[in-house]
Structure 1
C-alpha cells in the first residue's frame, strides 16, 4: 500500500503527466455530460428504454447514449466503422497501400478520408436510428423538421466525439477513441453490479461473492493472454563505420498471441444477427424458419454460441493476416541487416514467421471464442444479463486493452523521469505496441 501511494505521488509530481491526466478527465466528463443531453423535440419520458440485441450491445458501448436519444446517440461508432473500411481498403486497393507506405503524409491523407467517410456513415446511420428507435409519440415537433435537424445534430455530435478522442490522444493520456468507448462501458458497471447484488438478496450473498471472485480471475486471464507474446530472436550483423563498430546485438520480434484484438468479435457479432433477420421473413410461412429465428435471437442457445465461436476463429485468422504481414517484417529485417539465426533471409524468413504466426493464432482465436461466449455461460448460471456482459465479450476486451495502454504510457513517463515503474519486474505491454523490428 505504501508503494502504491508513493507511485501516485510520483505520477502527480510530473507536471506534464499531471496535466495530461487532468485533461483526460475533463474531456471524459464532457463526453459523459453530452450523453445525457436529449435531442431537441424528443420527450424522454416516452422513449422505449434500453434496446436489445445488436442495439443493446451498441447501447452498452455508448454508455446509454443510444437509448437516451442523446446528441451523442451514435457516439464514436461511425468513426470506428469508417476506420475499419479504410483499413480494409489499404489491403484491397493499391492506391491506398501506396498512401500507407508514404509515412506521415500518407497517414494524414488516410485520416482525412476516414473523417469524410465518417460524415457519410453518420448521416446514413442517423436516418436508421431516428426512424427505428424513436417512436412518433416521443416526437413533440414537426417530424420532417425533427428528422433534418436531428440528422445534423447527430452528425455534429459524432464529429465532436471524434474531436474529443483526438484531443485526448494529443493532450491527454491513452488512446482517445478507445478511452471514450471504455468510459461508456464502465458507466454501466455500477448499475450492473448493484442490480446483481439486489437480485441475490441477503440469502445469496455467498454466491455473489463467488461471482466477484470468478470475474476477478476471468479479468486476470484476459490480461495474461492479452500480454502474451511469442518472441522471435533477430541477430544484427556488425558494421564498421569509421573507427566505431555498430550492430551485432540480438533483439526480438514480439508476435502477440492475440494480434487481432477485439475486431473478430465485432465482425462476428455483426453477422450473428443475419440468421435471425433472414429467418424472420419466412417465420409466418415455415415452422423451421420460425424456430431458427427464435434460436438465433437467443444468445444463450448452443446453436448461437457454436456459430458465434466458429465465426470468431475464422475472423481472427482473417484479421491477423491483413494486420500482420510476415513479408513486410522480413523485408524490414533485411534492410536493417538483421536475420533470424538458422534461417536464410528473404523467402525462408517470411515462411518461418508465417508458420509461427499461424501456430500462435489458433490458441489466440480459441481464447477469443471462449471469452466471447462466456457472458452466455454466466447467464445460464442465473447472473443478470447486464452483469454477465462484463464476464467477457467486447466489453471486457476493450476495458483490459485500454487500461493496459494507459498504464503503459504512465509507466513510460515514470521511467523517463527516473522514478520506479508500476511493476517491480517486467513491463506493461499495451495494444499500441506494433510488431516491428527495432
Structure 2
C-alpha cells in the first residue's frame, strides 16, 4: 500500500491548481515580471536612432552578435536599456564564487550563514556595476564610431554626453533586471535569472521558425535541410529530458532498531546523484565569460580601427576568438567542463554528506562510515560528473557545428536552457501544489480533532 505522502505526491497535479491561491499569485507575478522585461527590451538607449542602428546591424549579421542577442531576446541589436541583460551579473557571480574557493577570508564569510551570504551578494552587486560600466563604455565608444566614416552614425547627440548616458543607463538596466530576478525567485516561481534568460530565448524562437520556413519557401535553403534541422531539434529535446532525469542511486542502509514490538528490520533508502548535478549553470557561466571580452572587442574595434596602433590587434583578437572559430569552440567547451566540476563541488559536499549519514546511523553497504564513505561518494560523484560534463559539451557545441545558421535560435545551448528551466519550473509548481495539499490535510485533521472534543 502506498503511503499518504506518496498518494499526495501522485495527486499533486495541475488539476489542483484552481484551489492553490498562493501559487496562482506567484505565477501571475512571474508572468508580469517577464512582461516588464520584454517591454524594456524595446526601449532604446537615449540618443540612438533606431532606424540607422537597424541598418548598421543588417550589414554585420551573424557571428557573436547574433549568438549573444539570443540570450537578451533581441535587446542587444535594438540597443535597449537592458541590452546587456543579466550577463554582467552572472559574470560577477562567477568571480565571487571562484574567489570564495580561493580566498580563506571570503570562505570564512561564506561560513557565517545568512549574514555571510548577504555580504557575498553585496560583493556580487558591486562587481555587476563595475563590469556593466566597462562593457557599457566600450559599447558607447563603438556606437559613436560605427558607420561614422560612411556618414551613417546611429548616435544623434553629442558623443561625450552619449557615452555618459549610455554607461549610466546600461548599469541601471542591468541592476533592475538583477533586482527583478531576485523578486521572481522570492515572490514568483523558479530561479528568476534563469527565467529571464529563458524568456529572451523563447521570444526569439517564433521569428527563427518563420525565417527558416520562409527560406525553405523561397528556395534559399533546401526544405530537406530545414526539416532535418527540426528533426534534430526534437531529438535533442528528448535526449536532454532523458539526461536531466538520469540519476545514480546510492543505496543507504540503516541499522536494525529495538522497539516495543521487538527488533525491526533496518530501513533502506537511496541517495540520488544526478548525472548533471550542475544543471544549466556551466553553459550559462561559460557564455557569460566569453561575452565579456567578445562584446568589448566587437565594439572597441569599431572605435579604434585606423585610429591607434591597437586597432589591428583588437580586430585580430575578435576574429581569433569570435564565434564559429576553432578557438571559440575550444574555450567554450573548456569553460563548460570546468564549471561542471566546479559547480558540482559547490552544491554537493561529500564530507558533509558522510558526516550526516554517520550522525543518523546510515551507511553504504560495504563502506565504512566516516572518511571511507566520503572517499567513496567523491569517487562516484567524479565519475558521473565526467559523464555530465561530456553530455553538456556534446549538447552545447556539436549542434552549433551542424545545425544550419538560420536555426541558431535552436542551438544546443538555447535548447538546454529552455528545457532545464521548464523542468525546474514545473517541479516548483508541483512542490507548491504538494505543500498546498499537505496544508489542506493538516486543516482537515485539526477540524476532525476539534469535532471529537
The CA deviation at 1:161 is 0.7
Instruction: Name the CA shift for 1:95/1:274 in 2 (closer, same or farther; >3 Å).
Output: closer
Match of 2:400 in 1: 376
Instruction: Name stretches of at least 5 consecutive residues in structure 1 with no aligned partner.
Output: 1-5, 420-438
Match of 1:387 in 2: 407
Match of 1:405 in 2: 424
SS state at 2:252 partner:
strand
More helix by share: 2
Whole-Å Cα distance in 2 between the matches of residues 24 and 390 of structure 1? 24
The CA deviation at 1:355 is 1.4
Match of 1:229 in 2: 247
Whole-Å Cα distance in 1 between the matches of residues 256 and 163 of structure 2? 67
- Larger mean CA deviation between 16-25 and 330-339 belongs to 330-339
Structure scoring higher RCO (CA < 8 A, sep ≥ 6) equals 2
- Larger mean CA deviation between 83-92 and 246-255 belongs to 246-255
- Larger mean CA deviation between 155-164 and 313-322 belongs to 313-322
Residue number among 353, 358, 361 corresponding to 1:334 in the alignment: 358
SS state at 1:233 partner:
strand
Match of 2:231 in 1: 213
Match of 2:162 in 1: 146
Instruction: Name the CA shift for 1:237/1:120 in 2 (closer, same or farther; >3 Å).
Output: farther
TM-score by length of 2: 0.77
Count of residue pairs the alignment pairs up:
401
Match of 1:431 in 2: none
Deviation by residue 1:391-437 (Cα, 9 ceiling, x = unmatched): 412x1221111101100011122333449xxxxxxxxxxxxxxxxxx
The CA deviation at 1:133 is 4.5
The CA deviation at 1:373 is 2.2
Is the Cα contact below 8 Å between 2:64 and 2:323 reproduced in 1?
Answer: no
Residue number among 267, 283, 300 corresponding to 1:249 in the alignment: 267
Is the Cα contact below 8 Å between 1:218 and 1:391 reproduced in 2?
Answer: no
Instruction: Name stretches of at least 5 consecutive residues in structure 2 with no aligned partner.
Output: 1-11, 298-304, 439-453
TM-score by length of 1: 0.80
The CA deviation at 1:378 is 2.7
Whole-Å Cα distance in 2 between the matches of residues 272 and 80 of structure 1? 11
1:68 equivalent to 2:84? Answer no
The CA deviation at 1:41 is 0.8
SS state at 1:339 partner:
coil
Larger radius of gyration: 2
Instruction: Name the CA shift for 1:238/1:168 in 2 (closer, same or farther; >3 Å).
Output: farther
Is the Cα contact below 8 Å between 1:127 and 1:147 reproduced in 2?
Answer: yes
